[in-house]
Structure 1
Amino acid sequence: MQQRRSVHVVEKMGGGNGHLSYDKEGKAPHHVTTGKLSQMTLLGAAFVIVIQGILIVNFYTSGYGSGSGFANQPQRKYVHDDPAHPWHWVRENPPDPDIGKKRDCDGRLYEEMYDYFQREGWIIFRSCSLQLDEERVLDPVAEFTKSIEGDRIVNAPNKQVRELAVDPDTLEFIEYIHGGRRTFPYQTLNFPKGTQQRLHSDLVHFDSQPRALMTAAWVALEDMNENNGPLRFFPKSHQWGTWDYDEVGLHYKYDTMRDQAKDQENYGYELEDAMMKAGLAEANASEMKRGQTFIWAAALVHGGSKQKDLSLSRLSQVTHYFFEGTDYLWQPRTSQITSGKVTYIHLVKPPCKRQFLGEGGGSEPIFSCADGEIASFKNNWKAEF
């Protein structure tokens, strides 16, 4: 029999939206506002669908069952336990059991958060080191972000912005939920208001080689609410692949793909339609509190909600991170993979390989290339990664 997991939406009094709640196995650590879907059943065996005329293999599974056609498949806990999955690298090493016993400053156990992140593709984390550094780091970053003219600033030349991006507890937790692989920051963005950005996967803008060695951490610099344009996202969408232009068929559907603004709009429409056809329920981060960090998997589909009250701020900082094993960074949006045309945006010199004691690799890592990238990030802001 194929395994099933249901997602139920509990309706709130007096409103059409509700809260996402899971069964005992998949209990959510935070309430998040959901869309109109009342119940969604996800099959435990991989299946194939057609979206926009493109054949897509859905990797979603909680372990292949013994149903017809799947009896000889290996048992897998997560979709990306499949070696063919682009996010499989996260599961190549087991999570550190000692770090797993730690708790974040909201009291949640790391090992439980690990499991939730693998299944859902996102987690809300509160760093204890950042909480201790609130006056020295968080307060100045919030004030700086409040002063920004325009909708954002990329790679702000600000000491506290850099320090927030390399917060020790955040880096440790990111590495823990990504199989212990060392990480380093690539880019920061600070937002004074909601972006109202269309749906996207970060992997369309920048990716690694090998693919998907990336994550992002979005820090709330003030309390979020339904009116200031909170982050919107689709839980479990990271399980389906990369959601880049080629995967959704965008390079082939439109004759020209040179106008970035129009490209982004078309891409957003394609993803809205794909999420609906895939039966994935929307959620948002309207209940996040100041100092909490929303961490998402590389391919999680997300965007900005409509800002209902334009007089409100939505102070936040997002940092995109890459991991050991990165040879170079490239931009899938402007590349044509099938014809071998790749837009390179950064060659890691030398390639950021994992380093271990002993010939042929040992069990204890020594100095990592991530250490060098972090030092460069902290000490020479204008040096491009």
Structure 2
Amino acid sequence: MSVEEVRPLLAAFASLQPLPRPRLRLLEVPDADLSGRGPASTWELRLREEFLSRLGPPLLPLPESLESSRLAFALQRSPRYMGEGFREAAQELFNSPAFVLSVSLSIAVYFAAWLVPEPLFSKAFAAALTVRLSLLVGLVELSHLALACLSLYQEAEAASTPQELEAVAERFGKSMGGTTLRVLLVVASMGLARLVPQVPEGGIWSLLGPARITPEGQVILESVAAAQAVADGSLIITGVAAGTACGGLALCASNAAGEPSGGGAKLSTRYGKPHTRKNPPHNEAIEEELARREAAGHIDLRKNKAQVTAKRRGVEDPEPVKGIRFRKPDVSSVRPDGIRHNTNYVSNHQDLKRELEAFDSMMRADPRAIHELYLLDGTLVRRYVPPGVSFP
């Protein structure tokens, strides 16, 4: 891994955090406070909310502020003990407070799940990520990385001096390799995929894209609803939305129609009936986004309902495409400042042209609203923000 390869992501992570302020930290003092006590900053809370909404709640206790925690300090010091060939890139990465925070969240949320004898990833995004990482590095390697992360967490929490934390950082740094560092980078960046641009293509990143065919003729899954690693080294996958990758690594529970077996995966219906039972990840993405908006104070939360203005007046496209005058945004809400915010998701890349047509149609129908189009992995395809409207 080279510095040039990670610099685009470093720039993206840098945009998530405020400008640095001069401060004095006496880390050499034996009793220096690195406990993470005290309220988290606004930007840290924003990153926490985004990460947890995509990968699920933390399985390990988190300090009030990760930014000033022992875990963050140990992560920042660990690159100096990493191997040649990727140490320089690691040092650049771990100098980014936003990246260190996202890795800390990765440990508490994602890698902690691997410590259960038969871990179950029921969050659709986490399940799909698990399948792709398992195909690359294997279940055993992933569990070893999770164990290294757990040791880092436990030892950092137990450390009482900077010297002890330095030893913790050294052990973790020496346990890392180029591939495991890439895995950390993938989880950290994909956990913030809505805020960070898509990771570079090639190498490990290629497994996070759309479905593709293996040399053996198997199809790598585009999305799944749940993934469970079992004792015999297999990965049980349910809620398959696009193809299967069965035998060897993955045992898929699906039928020819693409519906999950056993009556189907459980679909969230807090904000309305399922978007479609044939594509659980799409439905879960909608539910998660609506939950995020409700927490942010949005009102008039609408799931797959006819497009309306901020004042709930029906609208139609003045230039209908193929006779379609009305659209149904996957997600629609009204921000606290009174601006309507509509979002759609693309599950299949083959449907992108159709979804772009729908995006333009919705924009023509209500040019005073914010409109967005995302891939299911969180990659932004297009966004429209009306003139004079702020968008964080």
Same fold (TM over 0.5): no
Question: Is the strand fraction higher in 1 or 2?
Answer: 1
Q: Rg bigger for which structure?
A: 2
User: Which structure exhibits the higher relative contact order, with contacts defined as CA atoms closer than 8 Å and separated by 6 or more residues?
Assistant: 1
State the TM bucket, normalised to the shorter chain. Answer: under 0.3
TM-score calculated relative to the size of structure 1? 0.25
Question: Is the helix fraction higher in 1 or 2?
Answer: 2
